[in-house]
Amino acid sequence: MVIVNFKTYLESTGRKAVELAKIAEKVSKETDTQIVVVPQFADIAAVAKAVEIPVFAQHIDPIKPGSSTGYVLAESVKEAGAVGTLINHSERQMKLTDIDAVIRLANEKDLVSCVCTSNPPISAAVAYLNPDIISIEPPELIGTGVAVSKAQPQAVTKTIQLVRKVNSQAVILCGAGISHGEDVAVALKLKTQGVLVASAIVKAKDPYSIIREFADATKQ
């Protein structure tokens, strides 16, 4: 599984979000790999209309329908076509109570919950809250090109070990600094089930090649 976070790059905003999602879809079909795209809120509808691969929101708020002007309602991203959401991305960290509330909310609304964590104990803590996916991303490596799977294999291994003690079902991913197919291959050798990536793909001159490289690496 490869989750591609579009962040707020101009290279993945608006029409370019749709283009990038189509490239991801193409690779997904060619390689029979599960690739998820994570565009900005305002781009979800166009992206979800344009592709058949899963679309996640970057965040949802722990709110009920009503008076929350400017916040992100689960129902809203779902009706726009999202089938899941990132939660607690290192750039959008949440209160512990809100992480718990949003995981429940996602579950109620049939949205896949993917919680981002920054170290093994936090990953284990989150495992108790029963998200569908846990993705460990040491924040000091994000955007560096230094891959978590190579720079901190022990963090990944420890995460898996701690999470599995209390949660046998959550999909475990890793992210941060993933730049080459080999980084992905190493991540899978460490027993993760995939990667969460962003800049390596979004900022690439040739996104197709790099997504393809990542997808191929998951097949080895």
Based on the residue annotation, tell me whether 180 is a catalytic residue of this protein. Answer: no
- Asked if 124 interacts with its own copies (CB under 8 A), we say yes
Based on the residue annotation, tell me whether 59 is a catalytic residue of this protein. Answer: no
Relative to beta strand 112-117, strand 171-175 is unpaired
Count of chain residues binding its own copies (CB under 8 A) = 66
Cα–Cα distance between 86 and 60 in angstroms, integer? 8
Chosen residue from 130, 144, 157, 193 binding its own copies by CB under 8 A: 130
- Asked if 165 interacts with its own copies (CB under 8 A), we say yes
Output the CA torsion sign for 73, 77, 83, 87: negative
- Taking alpha carbons only, the member of 82, 75, 109, 76 closest to residue 21 is 82
Cα–Cα distance between 124 and 106 in angstroms, integer? 20
Structural contact between residues 89 and 99, judged by C-beta atoms closer than 8 angstroms: no
- Asked if 145 interacts with its own copies (CB under 8 A), we say no
Cα–Cα distance between 117 and 134 in angstroms, integer? 7
- Asked if 34 interacts with its own copies (CB under 8 A), we say no
- CB of 203 vs its own copies, minimal distance in Å: 10
Which of these is catalytic: 25, 52, 59, 89?
Answer: 89
- CB of 12 vs its own copies, minimal distance in Å: 9
Cα–Cα distance between 184 and 211 in angstroms, integer? 11
Chosen residue from 29, 93, 110, 189 binding its own copies by CB under 8 A: 93
Binding site for its own copies (CB under 8 A): 5, 7-10, 13-15, 38, 40-46, 57-59, 63, 65-73, 75-77, 79-80, 82, 86, 88-100, 118-119, 121-122, 124-126, 128-130, 142-143, 162, 165-166, 198-199
